[in-house]
Every structure is written in structure tokens, then in C-alpha cells.
Structure 1
Amino acid sequence: MTEPLDEGPFFHGTKADLHVGDLLTPGFRSNYRPEVVMNHIYFTALPDGAGLAAELAPGDAAPRVYIVEPIGEFENDPNVTDKKFPGNPTRSYRSSAPLRVTGETDAWTRLTPEALQQWHERLAVLRADERGEIIN
């Protein structure tokens, strides 16, 4: 695995109502394969990437993008790095250690209802495809 490309700032998208100082930890169900309990917490150096994750997160709450700092080691997300995209153009990372919330940002692009529907349709196809396995 290659060394992470970024030093921050980092972002995490969710529908949870969090506060500065809160910790995000592994051990929750995947947004993309709900039958999988995740061994890592995922984050990105791209606010729009975190926004996409927030919009796709389950639940009816408003999507939110938090500024986070990893409090342990982290690595390039192997689910996208070199598996789906050469290098790490999505600037996606994961850690088995918690992330600390340091703030919230609204500087990300919201999806149109049509684009959000297209993403949900893509995820439904991935869930049905055994090859869409998550590297956990």
C-alpha cells in the first residue's frame, strides 16, 4: 500500500449531529453494504467527496460535512486506491483509530435530486454484484 498523499485538512460526511471534540470510530455498518460492519472509519481530503458520503448515508437527517483529524495512523482507502482508480484521485483514506471532529463546513456541493437518485441506483447495482465487495 502506498503512503497517504495528504496531510489535511480532512473531511467526513454523515447525517449524524456531531460536535467539536466528538470522536468518530469504526464499528458501524457500511453505507454501501449495510450487512458489513466496518473495521475502519473513512474520510477524505475533498469536501465534495465527504458531501457525497453524507448525502448517501442512511436516514432522514440533513447531510453534514465535518472537518476531522485522524488521531492515529491512516492509509489510502484500498477500496478505491489502485483498485478502481490509479493512485488516489478521490483522496480517500481510512483508519482503525478514531477521528476527532474539529469543526463543520458547508463549503461542499450538494447533489441535485436527480444526481442523488442516480447514485442510489448505482449503489443498488453494486449491492447486487458480488464483485462490489468492500475491503474491510
Structure 2
Amino acid sequence: MNDVLDEGPFFHGTKADLDIGDHLTAGFRSNYRPEVVMNHIYFTALQDGAGLAAELAAGDGEPRVYLVQPTGDFENDPNVTDKKFPGNPTRSYRSVHPLRVVGEVTDWKRLTSDELRTWRERLAATLEHGGGEIIN
């Protein structure tokens, strides 16, 4: 990385069951717009942010949060930063390079069923009204 954006540690939330040493890569469908194949892999320096992503992820698996290490350059995630919000308050990033799984986090804050329902309703409303465009 040329200019270090954040020292980490970094986290990725998913419903995939992964092992230490596995690599997360771009090229999969978006959790929020399944018709979009993502050109980047996303991660955050906020453990609970990764937990939210895990809870909202597509699939039937158990939500999981992994400690990850970028294997190449990364940038601020424009979906939640300067193009939509000033700065990077969510400490969210993306990369075209894989993320290496270096551990699993088990003490992240789980959402209550009411919180999860509220987040899903917000997401559905945003997508239904034409919002939620993904900068890919």
C-alpha cells in the first residue's frame, strides 16, 4: 500500500464458513443488488460494522465476522464515503486484491431480531425507491 489509509485491524462479515488462510475475492454477487457482480472485496476497521454486513449478507449460513488482512492496495469505499458521505466515518474499504482470513471474531455485537428487521426494511425501502446505487 502506498498511502496507509488505516492501520486496522480489519474485518469482513459474511455467511460463508471460512478457514484461516482462505482468501476472500471479488467477483461475487452483491448482497444488496444481486444482479450486480462486485469488482471489489469490501471490509471495515469496525468489528460491529462487519457484524452488520454479516447479518445482512445473502445466504442461509450463520453470520460470521472474520479478521482479515489485505493482500494489496485498497481504497476508501465510495459507497459510504466521500461520494455519499464526507470522510470515512464507517472506516469502510474495498480492494481488487484478495483478503486473507487470519482469524474469526466471536464476540461481535449481534443484532436483535427487531434491529435486524428494521435494517432489512430500510434496505428494502432504499432499493425500492431507486436508491442504493452501487459504485462498482
**Contact 1:4/1:75 (CA < 8 Å) preserved in 2?**
no
Q: Residue 69 of structure 1 corresponds to which residue in structure 2?
A: 69
Q: What secondary structure, in the 3-state scheme, does the structure 1 residue paired with 2:122 have? A: helix
Aligned mates of 2:99, 2:13 — CA distance in 1: 12
Q: What secondary structure, in the 3-state scheme, does the structure 2 residue paired with 1:132 have? A: coil
Question: Which runs of structure 2 are paired with 1:57-136 in the superposition (5 Å)?
Answer: 57-136=57-136
Aligned mates of 1:128, 1:27 — CA distance in 2: 24
Q: What secondary structure, in the 3-state scheme, does the structure 1 residue paired with 2:65 have? A: strand
**Contact 2:5/2:75 (CA < 8 Å) preserved in 1?**
no
Query: How far 1:4 sits from its partner (Å)?
Result: 5.7
Q: What secondary structure, in the 3-state scheme, does the structure 1 residue paired with 2:55 have? A: helix
Give structure 2 stretches of 5+ with no counterpart.
Answer: none
Q: Residue 17 of structure 1 corresponds to which residue in structure 2?
A: 17
**What amino acid is aligned across from residue 88 of structure 1 in structure 2?**
N
Query: How far 1:89 sits from its partner (Å)?
Result: 0.5
**Contact 1:66/1:103 (CA < 8 Å) preserved in 2?**
yes
User: Which aligned segments of 4 or more residues in structure 1 are displaced greater than 3 angstroms?
Assistant: none
Query: How far 1:58 sits from its partner (Å)?
Result: 1.3
**What amino acid is aligned across from residue 124 of structure 1 in structure 2?**
A
Q: Cα deviations across residues 88-127 of structure 1 (Å, max 9, x unaligned)? A: 0000000001000000011211000001001111111122
Q: Cα deviations across residues 21-71 of structure 1 (Å, max 9, x unaligned)? A: 000000001111111100000000000000000000112211000000000
RMSD: 1.2
Percent identity between the two aligned chains: 75
Q: What is the TM-score when the length of structure 2 is the normalising length?
A: 0.94
Q: What is the TM-score when the length of structure 1 is the normalising length?
A: 0.94
Question: Which runs of structure 2 are paired with 1:47-62 in the superposition (5 Å)?
Answer: 47-62=47-62
**What amino acid is aligned across from residue 64 of structure 2 in structure 1?**
R
**Count of aligned pairs between the two proteins:** 134
**What amino acid is aligned across from residue 26 of structure 1 in structure 2?**
A
Aligned mates of 1:54, 1:134 — CA distance in 2: 18
